[in-house]
Amino acid sequence: MRIPKIKPLYLKLRIINQDYIFIILGSLVMALGIGVFLVDAKVVPGGVSGLSLSIHYLSKNKIPVGLLMWVLNIPLYIWGIIELGGQFGARTFVGFTTLSIFIDFFRGEIPGLRIIQLHKLPSIVNLQQNDFLFLILIGGVLTGVGLGIIFKFRGSSAGSDIFAAVAQKRWGMKPGIAFMVIDFFVISLAGIVIHLKNLSGSRPALSLTLYAFFLLFISSRIIDIILDGFDYARSAFIISEKHKEIAEQIMNELSRGATAFKGRGLYTNQSKEILYTVLTRKEIGTALKIIKKIDPQSFVIINNVHEVLGEGFRPRK
């Protein structure tokens, strides 16, 4: 009888602690993007962050953005716990709480720490006045990187994440559609608020709304990159009469496995074997040289692979 291997408790605790460290780091980076670069630019992200900014712009006493985010997230967090159980547990609470704290910290909204107002640094003010697009790009990248890190380590910033998960469970709505609806509504609402309160300054409210949708696109792409990684693998379908020689060279020179599928060309009505192999980005050039050298008439299809679990490739969470 085989006894299953059980990770020691200290290893499990170390992994959990590592997750929380990175969730807090992601919150810090995201808070820089929102609190330092986006709030005063009047370009809002989607979700609860954007809704909090809208209320912040409407309030006479300028309620701190981070505090608003935390207050709005609490009922959503409780709703998520009721509807989904432990899925939105401690990691989510740590994620949206530290994000709220860091935003108010960087903006000098925390009592006793008001001297820290990074959004008023001369370089930030200069960007806002003279290079607005670059300011928005930095804010979008920081927001996307921060949220990507939070997601990668199984955390959440609450808000839209909880609504999307509940909508999927209750009404069968796809998460992507839920995010799109929420973000469109929030950004449009923020644009209306900015227009009615005449907060846009020298830039029309419609322009700021379009910047917000551009910001949403940039941050979404950055999140994808963080989750999938830059080091994509490549898969290759190889159709050749000399498939045996090609397979041998791939296995010998690149130390990669290959799988042969039975296929039939519909035009020629001839049966043939189709090779399938997965390679790293660095290996794909060598593989193509091998294939071209053995059979210049071969037909090759290359695809991006975002995750490979198995020997020879690094696993991803």
- Give CA–CA dist 72/68, Å, rounded: 6
Q: Which residue has the higher pLDDT, 253 or 98?
A: 98
The per-residue pLDDT for 271 is 84
| Distances from the Cα of 265 to the Cα of 181, 245, 262, 298, 302, angstroms | 45, 20, 10, 13, 19
The per-residue pLDDT for 11 is 53
The per-residue pLDDT for 2 is 46
How much is the mean pLDDT over the chain? 84
Q: Which H, E and C letters describe 35-78, residue by residue?
A: HHHHCCCCCCCCHHHHHHHHHHHHCCCCCCHHHHHHHHHHHHHH
- Give CA–CA dist 190/212, Å, rounded: 9
Q: How confident is the model at residue 37 (pLDDT cuts 50, 70, 90)?
A: very high
Q: Are 287 and 236 in contact (CB under 8 A)?
A: yes
Range of weakest confidence among 25-34, 157-166, 183-192, 243-252: 157-166
- Strands 299-305 and 270-280, how do they pair? unpaired
| Mean pLDDT of the region 111-122 | 88
Asked if the 233-305 domain carries CATH number 3.30.70.120, the reply is yes
The per-residue pLDDT for 233 is 79
Q: Is the pLDDT of residue 199 over 50?
A: yes
Map out the domains of the chain as residue ranges. Answer: 9-228, 233-305
Percent above pLDDT 90 for the chain:
31
Q: Are 234 and 153 in contact (CB under 8 A)?
A: no
Q: Is the pLDDT of residue 105 over 50?
A: yes
Range of weakest confidence among 70-74, 198-202, 250-254: 198-202
